[in-house]
Each structure stands twice: as C-alpha cells, then as structure tokens.
C-alpha cells in the first residue's frame, strides 16, 4: 500500500502548496510504513519522509516515492520542513487540523515563522481515505476473516460458566493466535440484562441464559475489522425473537438502501423506519453505521447527521440495534463496501437467530 501519488494529486487540486502529515495513521496511509515518529511532506511534484534514528534504516528500505532524511540533534523536524519549504517555494502548508493539538499547532507556527501559512487540510486526507482501493479492501477482508475465525473458536466457551471478561480475553488470545497484529478496540462482551448497554464493558459476571452480544475486531497490516453478533444462550422468548428479527430486518433494509451517491442519513433512515414501525424507535439511539479502515471510525458515516453522499469505494459498518433497559439488547453488525450499484458485504458470519 502506497498512497503518496494519490495524495500528491489531491494536493495539486487543493488550495495548498504542500501537505504536512504528522499523525502515525496518516503516515501509514501515505506510505504503508508504520512508525511512532516522523513527518511527511507531499507537494504536487515531490514527497519527503523524515524520521529519527530508530526508524531510518527501515524507512529507507520500505518507503518509496519519497526522499528520506534523518531527524535528530540540530536536524529537528521543524528545521527539515523549513528547509524543504524554502527550497521549493512552499508558502501554504496544509496540516492535519483534526489530529494536531493547539499546543502542537502553536509550536509549529512559531518555529516555521511568518513566511509559512499553516492551512487546515484534514478534509483532504479524510476524503482520500474514504475511498478504498480493491487492494485495501482485500486487506480489510483478511482482517475480517481472522476476527470471524476467532469468534467461531471461542463461542462454545460461552455456555461453560465463563465470565464476560474471561470470554473477552479468550477472544483476544484467539485474535493473536490466528494472525492479528492487535485487537482493533477493546471487545464488548455483555450478556443477559447487560446486553442492553450498547458499549457495555465486560464484567466478572458469569454468562448465563439470555442474549449475549459481542462486538469485536482485529488489526491486520494496519487495517481494521468490526463485527457484532448477538446470540441466545438457551431458548429465546417471543419478545426476544421479535426484537432480534426487527433488528435483522432493519439491517437488511439499510444495506439495501446503501449505494454510491446516497446520503448517509438516508441509509440510516431506511433502517430506522423498520425499528420505528415496530414500536422500538426510542430504543435505537445510535447511527446505522460508520466508516472503517485504518481507524475504527472514519468518514463517511450512515448516521442521522451525515448529509454527505456515500462515495463508491467507501467501507461502512451496518449495525442497527434495539436496547431495552433492564431487559436485553440486540445488535447485528456487518461491514459493507459501497459500489455504484449497491454494496458488497464482506462479513462472512451467519446472522439468523442462534440459540446455543
């Protein structure tokens, strides 16, 4: 993965002379190289990658399409950036306004001097990252498969008196055993009455009869997966079946509405209508889905507040839910790839009501 050329073209079309990338996730996006320290500059004609002695050898072997230079001592990042900008006539420098603190911004502003204007350019990176190539999609599929395999392996443990926290830990161990670099986020494992908490934290309560909701994902080659499944330990009541089937129908209707050019809020509305019509509208408080990629939450989204059109190539979650406080909750989450004609579901787990 190397998106330097893609970003170079985006800079060419923007109102900036060059783009400065300081966050680890966007450096990874631009170069495919992961490091905890570094700065990248991208102009329409050229790119530069600066990092310290811990990463300079690896960067020299891995980063392509950019001139590599080592920082350290007097060669601070601000000095290296200033020299490049002066040599190449860069006066308007885009920066990650969504990732840089005010203190960091003030420090860059002071050290770069009045000759350089720092221009907010987070949207440029968001727009670029919102469209995934087929190669990037395949990496996300690989992450999904690891997560799914791990879920299948540990699910039988749920009925053996194990606690929510213990099951969450077993899931993380399975992730690593199956080839994940890390968990994408702390797994949500909530059961019984606690399944009504959409982002409940696993407890030391033994998992008993009733709904068990697990929300989980892995990191593979920097890319993240995200899946939720709700299963029932024992027999589901009629009310539980009604809620489950309503959530499933809402998810299917939302996925059916998702395609390139459709506003994200319209996708949400298609799913929300099913839940509202079934009488559970006030128990669905979050959006239908969010963007997914190198971060768990990215642009675009399928939420009530997102009026932007979904672009072809976007990857979003599809995760409606109903949560009845003090009783139980249900969420079903897949990941879909937006196309001109609709979407491709990259999740490969069954989602009919499972009673175990």
pLDDT digits (tens, 9 = 90+) for 186-201: 999 999 999 999 999 9
What number is the average pLDDT over the span 217-238?
98
Q: What is the mean pLDDT of residues 86-107?
A: 96
Q: What is the pLDDT of residue 213?
A: 98
Q: What is the model's pLDDT at position 52?
A: 97
The predicted structure's pLDDT at residue 1: 61
- Report pLDDT for 144: 98
Q: Which domains does the chain have, with CATH numbers?
A: 4-129 (3.40.350.10), 134-345 (3.90.230.10)
What's the count of helices (H) and strands (E) in the chain, helices before strands? Answer: 10, 19
Region 26-39 average pLDDT: 96
Rounded mean pLDDT, 34-63 = 97
Which pLDDT does position 113 carry in this prediction? 86
Question: CA angle, 39 as apex, 33 and 42 as ends, to 5°?
Answer: 85
The whole-number pLDDT of residue 2 equals 84
Q: Contact, 251 vs 332, CB < 8 A?
A: yes
pLDDT tens digits for 140-167?
999 999 999 999 999 999 988 899 999 9
The predicted pLDDT at position 120 comes to 97
Q: Is the pLDDT of residue 276 over 80?
A: yes
d(CA 64, CA 76): 22
Given a cut of 90, whether residue 38 has pLDDT beyond it is yes
For the cut 70, the answer to whether the pLDDT of residue 90 exceeds it is: yes
Q: How far apart are CA 288 and CA 270, in angstroms?
A: 9
Bridge-partner residues for 92, per DSSP? 117
pLDDT band at 115 (very low <50, low <70, confident <90, very high): confident
pTM of this prediction?
A: 0.95
Helix-strand-coil split of the chain, %, nearest 5: 40, 25, 35
Mean pLDDT score across all residues of the chain: 97
Query: For residue range 334-352, what is the model confidence (pLDDT) as tens digits?
Result: 999 999 999 999 999 999 9
Which pLDDT belongs to residue 159? 83
Region 247-268: mean pLDDT is: 98
- Could you tell me whether strands 92-95 and 18-21 are parallel, antiparallel, or unpaired per DSSP bridges? parallel
Question: What is the token pair recorded at 248?
Answer: 């499933």
Find, among 210, 200, 230, the residue nearest to 330 by Cα.
230
């Amino acid at each position: 993965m190397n998106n330097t050329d893609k970003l170079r073209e985006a800079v060419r079309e923007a109102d900036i002379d060059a783009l400065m990338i300081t966050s680890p996730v966007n450096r990874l996006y631009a170069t495919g190289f992961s490091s905890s320290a570094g700065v990248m500059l991208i102009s329409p004609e050229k790119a530069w990658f600066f990092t310290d002695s811990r990463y300079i050898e690896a960067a020299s072997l891995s980063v392509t399409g950019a001139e590599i230079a080592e920082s350290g001592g007097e060669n601070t990042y601000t000095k290296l950036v200033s020299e490049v900008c002066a040599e190449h006539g860069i006066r308007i420098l885009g920066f990650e306004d969504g990732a840089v603190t005010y203190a960091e911004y003030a420090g860059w502003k002071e050290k770069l001097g009045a000759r350089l204007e720092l221009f907010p350019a987070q949207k440029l990176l968001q727009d670029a990252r919102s469209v995934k190539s087929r190669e990037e999609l395949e990496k996300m599929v690989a992450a999904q498969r690891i997560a799914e395999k791990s879920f299948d392996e540990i699910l039988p443990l749920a009925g053996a008196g194990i606690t929510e926290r213990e099951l969450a830990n077993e899931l993380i161990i399975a992730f690593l055993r199956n080839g994940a670099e890390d968990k994408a986020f702390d797994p949500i494992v909530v059961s019984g009455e606690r399944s009504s908490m959409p982002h409940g934290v696993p407890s030391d309560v033994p998992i008993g009869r009733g709904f068990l909701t697990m929300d989980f994902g892995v990191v593979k080659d920097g890319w993240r997966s995200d899946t939720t499944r709700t299963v029932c330990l024992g027999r589901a009541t009629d009310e539980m079946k009604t809620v489950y089937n309503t959530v499933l129908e809402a998810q299917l209707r939302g996925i059916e509405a998702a395609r390139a050019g459709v506003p994200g809020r319209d996708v949400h509305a298609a799913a929300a209508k099913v839940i509202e019509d079934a009488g559970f509208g006030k128990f669905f408080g979050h959006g239908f889905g969010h963007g997914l990629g190198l971060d768990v939450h990215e642009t675009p989204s399928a939420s009530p507040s997102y009026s932007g059109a979904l672009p072809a190539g976007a990857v979003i979650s599809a995760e409606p839910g109903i949560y009845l406080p003090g009783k139980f909750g249900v969420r079903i989450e897949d990941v879909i790839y937006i196309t001109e004609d609709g979407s491709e579901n990259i999740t490969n787990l069954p989602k009919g009501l499972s009673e175990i």
